[in-house]
Amino acid sequence: MSRSTRRKAAEIRHLLETEGDAMYENTRVLNEGRYEAIESFDRFEDLREEARETKEAAIADLDGLVERVTESVERNGGHVHLAEDAADARAYVEEVCGAADAETVVKSKSMTTEEIELNEGLESVGIDVYETDLGEFVIQLADEAPSHIVAPGFHKSREEIAQLLNEVYEPEEPLETAEELTRFARDVLGEHIRDADVGVTGANFVLAESGTVVLVTNEGNARKTAVTPDTHVAVAGVEKLLPSIEELSPFVEIIARSATGQSIAQYVTMLSPPTDSPTLGFDGPDDTVEGGSEDREFHLVLLDNGRTAMREDDELRETLYCIRCGACSNSCANFQHVGGHAFGGETYSGGIGTGWEAGVEGLDSAAEFNDLCTGCSRCVNACPVKIDIPWINTVVRERVKGGADPDTFDHLVDGLVPDEEEPGFDLRNRFFGNFETVARAGSALAPASNWLSGAGPVRAAMDRWLGIDRRRDLPRFRRETLRKWFENRESAVRSGAGPTPAREAVLYPDVYTNHVQVERGKAAVRTLEALGVEVRLPDAGESGRAPLSQGMVSTARRAAEETHDALAEHVEAGRDVVVIEPSDLAMFRREYERLLPGDAYERLAANSYEVMEYVYGLLENGADVGGLAPGGGEKLAYHSHCQQRTLGLEAHTEAVFDRLGYDVLTSDAECCGMAGSFGYKSEYYELSREVGDSLLAEMDTRGRRVVASGTSCLDQLESLLDRPTDHPVQVVDPRRTGR
């Protein structure tokens, strides 16, 4: 592997060893909490919709909102500064602190102040800055960066925190329990808050009409930070603006559920400073709690720093709807294992971090971690404002990978691959993005192609030039493709051997099923025919999933158009489209919306089915279950596919298994870790294994047949368990009936 690949692999290995356990433990708790909180709250989807619409409207009217909030804050007696960039914002806060003769500043947690590197700025002019959020406090003491946008110290275990505090403060009795650590931190920070001259907070929302800063917190430190010192500075990105308190409602009820699984945060603080609360003078023992807004000073710093440009960018605009809840991080299998120190840029981390970094820092920062998004789409349903986070990652990947200088190998690759990408697009991405070409050659030349690709020197070259890890088994191409097999057989329906056909369907021959996992294709044909469906194989090629996953959007678009054209005549003729590979079905149902004209997308999406979803539907509509292989209590361990779960199609497979009498145990891991090409890539191979291992740690597969819906999942589980795996349709395959 190349030097940069080796460096990245080492970085990830190091994080897995040092921070992986704490990250995994902590993110899983929040992720499970989120599932429970949302499961038990039936208005969630409606509020998500409302929140999304509210954000869209607010960003559309951003200029008007900035104007309104400036008027209202000034009317209240405060000041507004619209900061063009980080340096501008920093300079303004420094100026405010200078005017207040500030020696110390206390802060509540704010990613926006991380973005502008405020602490470093204030410290450089001799001001002491104290973080009062307990997580931030720990990170500040350790001189580290946040590993999570909501819980900055998630990568540290309690033991590590105790050790750190004991070393720094040398208390008489060493601190040990969470209770002791919390009390100790509260006392230390309480003193800092009382002594501070200026309090700096962020804002979760800013209400334009009333000049209100909304802070969503649990500890109470933001409240103290905002009202204890006489001067309060709130730093917020311009995208935090909402028109008025009327629009706040959905966010109050979704933000904590999404972030931590709480139904509501401990404190939703809505301050329109300077407030009427009396000022607190802790300087002398007899100071009275009195005075009020006339003694208080308030500054609202609204930060642009690239946001206006993001608003103009059709692909990045959605990022501005983000309410920074961290659900995309917690629901991400890769993030759960490496955390924000690998899965993050200068400031922001997790799935949506890519959009933020690309917008406020630039592509270089986004490029650092963009590859860690595998497009598994588990964050899509998690996001409370319905941001298509995988899409943002895809688009940023296109910009990152397409931006490189043309490589010396480009002319070679250009001749071999039929893609639409400009020279300079990352070589490895083009290899995976053109997998159909590879597969065609692989089948045509099988078995020689498989011997060749198994050979040491070939693997060494692939590792070196393409960054494909030598430890990963490569797909074994089948000489007889599904298409060839299908052409040479007689339809059981037409031959009269099966039931009279009630429906007609086309079975989409995805590249893997056609060239590699041919058996699941055959099983699907037999299963559908047994249920009275006349099956055809359409003349359709790769769906565009492979190039899309590599950020090759134009190539994916062309593939989508061609696939649609090949399927459209069948849909027109009333045939259903049945899909085995969930990632291809997800193309038809999700991503094609962005790649095809609206009506073309809608028609195909409405008529496409995952194969077990289709089997379920046939059985529900009275098809005879007798033709399928009965379960007889056979024990299965089933891992659905990430994108299949996002489409809500996991339950159909389980229901079919139940109906046939199988005993099914289902995994609840977000992803198997393989995720298409991801697990092949040299720098990510170990992370991919780690994610797969944790799936298996949570699902006891002993004595169970291992079943998975996706190609990647099947490969990953087979390799981790070192035993064969099956697609669900192979389990119910009528061919097994006689066993």
In the complex, least distance from residue 225 CB atom to another protein, rounded to whole angstroms: 9
Q: Smaller CB distance to another protein: residue 133 or 469?
A: 133
In the complex, least distance from residue 132 CB atom to another protein, rounded to whole angstroms: 7
Q: Smaller CB distance to another protein: residue 96 or 248?
A: 248
In the complex, least distance from residue 201 CB atom to another protein, rounded to whole angstroms: 13
Q: Smaller CB distance to another protein: residue 130 or 680?
A: 130
Q: Smaller CB distance to another protein: residue 297 or 426?
A: 297
Q: Smaller CB distance to another protein: residue 286 or 312?
A: 286
In the complex, least distance from residue 209 CB atom to another protein, rounded to whole angstroms: 8
Q: Smaller CB distance to another protein: residue 190 or 501?
A: 190
**Is residue 410 within 8 Å of residue 465, measured between CB atoms?**
no
Q: Smaller CB distance to another protein: residue 83 or 385?
A: 385
| 495, 496, 499, 503: CA torsion to nearest 10 | 50
Residue 35: both structure tokens together: 């599932």
**Is residue 368 within 8 Å of residue 342, measured between CB atoms?**
no
Radius of gyration of the chain (CA): 28
**Is residue 576 within 8 Å of residue 614, measured between CB atoms?**
yes
Residue 315: both structure tokens together: 């692909």
In the complex, least distance from residue 40 CB atom to another protein, rounded to whole angstroms: 12
Q: Smaller CB distance to another protein: residue 207 or 731?
A: 207
CA-CA distances (angstroms) from residue 197 to 42, 76, 130, 279, 672? Answer: 45, 21, 12, 12, 51
**Is residue 274 within 8 Å of residue 249, measured between CB atoms?**
no
CA–CA separation, 695 and 688 (whole Å)? 11
Give the N- to C-terminal CA distance of the chain in Å, as an integer: 47
Residue 35, number of CB atoms within 10 A of its CB: 16
In the complex, least distance from residue 266 CB atom to another protein, rounded to whole angstroms: 6
Give SS3 for 170: coil
In the complex, least distance from residue 671 CB atom to another protein, rounded to whole angstroms: 25
In the complex, least distance from residue 221 CB atom to another protein, rounded to whole angstroms: 4
**Is residue 37 within 8 Å of residue 263, measured between CB atoms?**
yes
Q: Smaller CB distance to another protein: residue 194 or 594?
A: 194
| Residue in 60, 62, 125, 65 with CA at minimum distance from that of residue 92 | 125
Q: Smaller CB distance to another protein: residue 181 or 531?
A: 181
- DSSP string computed for 132-152: -SHHHHHHHHHT---SSSS-T
β-pairing, 241-242 with 205-207?
Answer: parallel
Give SS3 for 631: coil
In the complex, least distance from residue 693 CB atom to another protein, rounded to whole angstroms: 24
**Is residue 70 within 8 Å of residue 207, measured between CB atoms?**
no
| 509, 512, 515, 517: CA torsion to nearest 10 | -100
Q: Smaller CB distance to another protein: residue 135 or 544?
A: 135
In the complex, least distance from residue 432 CB atom to another protein, rounded to whole angstroms: 40
CA–CA separation, 129 and 118 (whole Å)? 9
CA–CA separation, 23 and 42 (whole Å)? 30
For 606, residues 6+ apart whose C-beta sits below 8 A from its C-beta are: none
Site of interaction with another protein (CB under 8 A): 29, 76, 132-135, 138, 151, 153, 157-159, 161, 178-179, 181-182, 185-186, 189-190, 193-194, 210-212, 218-221, 223-224, 227-228, 244-246, 248-249, 252-253, 260, 263-273, 275-278, 280-282, 285-290, 292
In the complex, least distance from residue 233 CB atom to another protein, rounded to whole angstroms: 16
Residue 509: both structure tokens together: 């021959």
In the complex, least distance from residue 491 CB atom to another protein, rounded to whole angstroms: 59
In the complex, least distance from residue 187 CB atom to another protein, rounded to whole angstroms: 11
In the complex, least distance from residue 648 CB atom to another protein, rounded to whole angstroms: 27
Q: Smaller CB distance to another protein: residue 48 or 545?
A: 48
Q: Smaller CB distance to another protein: residue 161 or 389?
A: 161
In the complex, least distance from residue 560 CB atom to another protein, rounded to whole angstroms: 42
| Residue in 204, 324, 210, 202 with CA at minimum distance from that of residue 268 | 204
Q: Smaller CB distance to another protein: residue 220 or 630?
A: 220
| Residue in 425, 678, 466 with CA at minimum distance from that of residue 552 | 425
Give SS3 for 241: strand
| Residue in 580, 449, 451, 601 with CA at minimum distance from that of residue 519 | 580
Q: Smaller CB distance to another protein: residue 265 or 439?
A: 265
In the complex, least distance from residue 704 CB atom to another protein, rounded to whole angstroms: 34
* Residue 206 CB-density burial (10 A; 0-12 exposed, 13-18 middle, 19+ buried): buried
β-pairing, 205-207 with 198-201?
Answer: unpaired
Question: Where would I find the H helices in 316-379?
Answer: 327-330, 333-338, 353-356, 363-367
| Residue in 144, 304, 145 with CA at minimum distance from that of residue 240 | 304
Q: Smaller CB distance to another protein: residue 221 or 694?
A: 221
Compute the C-alpha angle 39/41/47, nearest 5°: 115
Residue 252, number of CB atoms within 10 A of its CB: 17
Residue 446: both structure tokens together: 């099988």
Residue 675 half-sphere exposure toward CB, CA atoms < 13 A: 32
